[in-house]
Structure 1
């Protein structure tokens, strides 16, 4: 019960006022509501030595929500009261045998009217886990899907940009609006090499000249 209350208090502090309790060292600084809740859960899990367990359980919960349209709509609807959502989450936690820290975290989200943000908060938590493992997310967006040989060559080239001790987790996306070229996002760095951006640049130059 002490762990339950401690984690709940920590998250509430994050969502309302400055945190007075010192957090465990975080591998990544995240901001906003999602970042604050994710950081609070990560810190509590580190202190309780349940990081891997919590990581596994919250992602299992996210997968459950994403694959159950009725549950997803129920949790997202503002028409449903917090108490109803809290009770539903409690039943899920019991049936899935979540540990107290995980169950309490979702309970606090329900009580604070934040359960509809759970997917985004879990995504933020996953970013922290990747950072802890030395993983850096790299998102490559192209106008059309690359061939297997091209994609393999590109990924090999991008891995060369990873700092010592770090590994790139490369995600490929397609956006026809780019027209051609690509957009690469590595960590907090963003490189736009798309034809669309070049056209916009030239259009702006022409407008200024005219």
Structure 2
């Protein structure tokens, strides 16, 4: 189905074509030369990839298309568990992951900036960060449209009353003319409390983070 699948299951080694890694990095090169500054700053490694993609797509006037590309990538990886497992496997050579991604890109008709992003992630051994990069890009695009993207993670699903209260509180952070785009996530591992990401701001108010903090204090005093 995708290049490398047989090798994933049989362990057979193959030689890649000499030019298999000679990818034309329009993503990196166009973003590096006179980069387009994003409307919202995103941090960390995921943020750097997302910012480079925004710059490249902006110059090509393909921001909306690339955003749609990334939505399709997420849908495809969610629907194809075998491909996702293959791409995340530490035993698969990076060049094989690149080839698998290129075939997936052809199948779902991705544009060059999106293809180059995925190829760079695979080559650098960071394809497991694709969801984080897509999330960071979504934050930038929300700012581009004049929206304020808010992501709230709780240990269990909020009821409707709490959702309304949360919406009211978050509106105070929005500038005039900004629309609140609220995304709710559930992660039982945080135990309680919540983790809130508002644009480029991040606040961890989870019970898990407090436990970790107190543990570090106790260990430091022993």
| Counterpart selection for 2:39 from 27, 32, 40 | 27
| Counterpart selection for 1:50 from 26, 48, 62 | 62
Query: Residues 173 and 63 (structure 1 numbering): CA distance in 2 closer, same or farther, change over 3 Å?
Result: closer
2:92 counterpart SS class: coil
User: What does residue range 75-154 of structure 1 map to in structure 2 within 5 Å?
Assistant: 75-140=87-152, 145-154=157-166
Q: Which segment drifts farther, 43-52 or 93-102?
A: 93-102
How many angstroms does 1:63 deviate by?
A: 1.7
Task: Give the unaligned 5+ runs of structure 2.
Answer: 1-22, 218-222
Query: Residues 155 and 133 (structure 1 numbering): CA distance in 2 closer, same or farther, change over 3 Å?
Result: same
The C-alpha deviation readout for 1:129-184, integer Å capped at 9, x for no partner, is 11212222334566765543453354245424422121222234566833xx7775
Normalising by structure 2, what TM-score?
0.68
Matched, 1:5 2:17: no
- Report the RMSD for the aligned CA atoms in angstroms: 3.3
Question: What residue number does 1:207 align with?
Answer: none
The C-alpha deviation readout for 1:7-28, integer Å capped at 9, x for no partner, is 24438xx8xxxx5x22012112
How many angstroms does 1:39 deviate by?
A: 1.0
Greater Rg by CA: 1
2:177 counterpart SS class: coil
Task: Give the unaligned 5+ runs of structure 1.
Answer: 205-210
* Cα distance between partner residues in 2 of 1:151 and 1:129: 24
Question: What residue number does 1:177 align with?
Answer: 191
Residue 141 of structure 1 contacts residue 172 of structure 1 at CA under 8 Å; is this kept in 2? yes
* Cα distance between partner residues in 1 of 2:78 and 2:153: 24
